[in-house]
Chain A
Amino acid sequence: MALLEVRRLEKYFTVPKPVGSLDLRPRQIQVLRDINFDLEKGEAISVIGSSGSGKTTLLRCLNFLETPTAGTISVNGETLFDAAKWKSVSEEQVRQKRLHFGMVFQSFNLFPQFTALENVTLAPLLAAKEGRNKASEAEIRQRGEQLLEQMGLSDRMENYPHQLSGGQQQRVAIARALALEPDILCFDEPTSALDPELTGEVLRVIRELAVKNTTMIIVTHEMAFARDVADRVIFMDGGVIVEQGDAREVINHPREERTKHFLAGYSKQS
């Protein structure tokens, strides 16, 4: 049994009808189609594919920021999501289920009114208040400092987000996600909003996490990074998984035509 098992996941979006259309049925577009994959504990998966292929939607489904239309998501053998039974799940239960996953956004989404350290400790402190976390305030603070040190930000703990570079902000965001000790850490194009010279520092900390066997799903456009850091790669196109397998194998020797085409476009660009 894998740590994460995703089965037959589907997602439709309802889109506004074009103005003047006489067709009264809601227009639906399918953004995820029959998504199946496993993720073992300690494994890192990269998800690659062109824009609009459904990569981000997949991550957002795992974090319940979107509700899949069909399929199941299981973590540690526990079915977290089953589209058939989802209506009866309360908001409070969704909140608990989310905690299996951590999320690092493309645009960081740090809380501007809090310092780097406060950004990292806010959620654990709230959890402690609710009794979900047994650690004391001092311990949580210490753990936050430790995480920021690990991100190479020892001298930035008391800075506010607007005083930090994009790369530093993203590293704070990674520490913030790690602070809740999720089973699986998700990265949604963590370097896409960064200036090219700042991507390295973020990729470096993700690489360190991979070395420490952090279970991760990384949506990325950095092909070399995907190949070197991830154990496995998933290539998506048009809402389906076209090819998945060993990272080096898929990126160096793709089997599917569409994967070859996509990767060829990449090597031309860079």
Chain B
Amino acid sequence: MFITVTQSLFFGFLATLKLFSLTLVCALPLGLFICFGSMSRLAVIRLPIRLLIWIIRGTPLLLQLLIIYYGPGIMGHNVWGSEDTGRFLAALIAFVINYACYFSEIYRGGIQSIPIGQYEAGKVLGMTNGQIFRRIILLQLIKRIVPPISNEVITLVKDTSLARVIAVYEIIWNGQSFIKSAGIVWPLFFTGVFYLVFSGLLTLLFRQIEQRLSYFR
């Protein structure tokens, strides 16, 4: 039994990992664009982006998942189909938008915390804006945002479990299914071990990164 459960949970965890990693790959860069948008001098860009960030951060991710999955169907366009892949895609999109908004605010905080003198020093040395960003600002920015980003990333590991409300078969779904099929509860609790091990690894990874960047202040 233990082996069957472990196997089932393992496959569920692969789905969790897939959702987790694809969300990060898309949301980390998308967040940067949203960040630039939210800092734009043009109100036509800035205000809609700020509105989006407010809506996304102001409502539960669970609700966003349901709206993105069921919303199109209610309006008469079943864009997600009836396959597993469609549900997974809907979940992925909800996660990407949600996390990109949170990341964008972390980036914005990071950019605004870099002293203006760093930009000015670059300017008086005849550097272009691009050179200033790439050579001077970027590394300082990364150093500042690693701790809050790691926080979000670890939250994301656990948030992926929300995807099961639209029947994405991730690890908790698989664990829970044993209650019905075999009448046992412990597989559900056992899922916690997977989460713990994975977030533990992430914690170590982020500590490494922070360590690497600790040579300057």
Q: Could you tell me which A residues sit within 8 Å of B by CB distance?
A: 63-65, 91-92, 95-96, 98-99, 101-103, 105, 107, 109-114, 122-123, 126-127, 132, 160-162, 176-177, 180
Contact = CB atoms under 8 A, between A and B. Distances in A.
B139 A105 contact: no
A112 B121 CA distance: 12
User: Which residue among A63, A65, A99, A112 has the maximum number of chain B CB atoms within 10 Å of its CB?
Assistant: A112
Contacts of A114: 216
B120 A109 contact: yes
Contacts of B115: 107, 109
24 contacts: A64-B123, A65-B123, A92-B128, A95-B126, A95-B127, A96-B126, A99-B126, A103-B120, A103-B124, A105-B117, A107-B117, A109-B121, A110-B121, A111-B121, A111-B136, A112-B140, A112-B216, A113-B216, A123-B125, A123-B127, A127-B126, A162-B216, A176-B125, A177-B125
Contacts of B124: 63, 65, 98, 101-103, 177
Given A105-B120, A109-B115, A122 B125 contact: yes
B120 A123 contact: no
User: Which residue among A65, A105, A109, A122 has the maximum number of chain B CB atoms within 10 Å of its CB?
Assistant: A109
B121 A126 contact: no
B213 to A, nearest CB: 8
B135 interface: yes
Interface string B126-150: 1111010001100110010000000
Nearest to A115: B216
Contacts of B128: 92, 95
Interface of B: 115, 117-118, 120-121, 123-129, 131, 135-136, 139-140, 143, 215-217
Contact of B127 (A105, A107, A126, A161): A126
Contacts of B135: 122, 126
B123 A98 contact: yes
Nearest to B215: A160
A111 B217 contact: no
B118 A111 contact: yes
B139 A113 contact: yes
A71 B170 CA distance: 68
B118 A109 contact: yes
Contact of B120 (A65, A91, A160): A65
B190 to A, nearest CB: 44
Contacts of B126: 95-96, 98-99, 123, 126-127, 132, 180
Nearest to B125: A123
Contacts of B216: 112-114, 160-162
A91 B23 CA distance: 38
Given A123-B126, A127-B126, A176-B125, 5 more contacts: A91-B129, A92-B128, A113-B215, A113-B216, A132-B126
A176 to B, nearest CB: 7
Contacts of A95: 123, 126-128
Nearest to A173: B121
A112 B127 contact: no
A142 to B, nearest CB: 19
Contacts of B118: 109, 111
A64 B120 CA distance: 10
B217 to A, nearest CB: 4
User: Which residue among B115, B118, B126, B139 has the maximum number of chain A CB atoms within 10 Å of its CB?
Assistant: B126
B28 to A, nearest CB: 21
A228 to B, nearest CB: 27
Nearest to A99: B126
Contacts of B123: 63-65, 95, 98
Nearest to B217: A162
A70 to B, nearest CB: 22
Contacts of A102: 124
Contacts of A113: 139-140, 143, 215-216
